[in-house]
C-alpha cells in the first residue's frame, strides 16, 4: 500500500523500545479503531496475528489500554 520505505519505518517504530512492542501494537490497533481507519486496522491486526498475538491477548490488552486512556 505505502511501499517498502513506509513498511520498514512502521516495523522499526513498532519494535521494543521505551515502550514494549506489544503495547505499541495494541495502541496502533486502538488508534485505528478510534480513527475509523479500516485499512489501518486490518494492517495492524494482521501484523499482530503474524507475530503470534491471540484474540484473547488482543482483547484483554485493548480493554486494559482503553481503561488506562479513559482515566486521562
Report field, pTM of the whole predicted structure over 0.85: no
pLDDT tens digits, one per residue of 5-57: 767 877 788 888 898 888 888 888 888 888 888 888 888 888 877 777 665 56
Burial of 65 (0-12, 13-18, 19+ CB in 10 A): middle
Angle at the Cα of 34 (from 28 to 47), degrees rounded to 5?
30
CA 42 vs CA 29, 66, 68, 69: distances in Å:
9, 19, 23, 22
Amino acid at each position: 500500500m505505502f511501499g517498502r520505505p513506509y513498511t520498514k519505518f512502521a516495523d522499526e517504530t513498532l519494535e521494543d523500545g521505551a515502550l514494549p512492542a506489544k503495547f505499541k501494537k495494541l495502541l496502533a490497533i486502538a488508534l485505528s479503531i478510534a480513527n475509523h481507519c479500516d485499512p489501518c486496522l486490518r494492517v495492524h491486526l494482521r501484523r499482530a496475528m503474524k507475530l503470534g498475538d491471540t484474540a484473547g491477548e488482543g482483547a484483554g490488552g485493548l480493554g486494559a489500554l482503553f481503561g488506562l486512556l479513559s482515566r486521562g
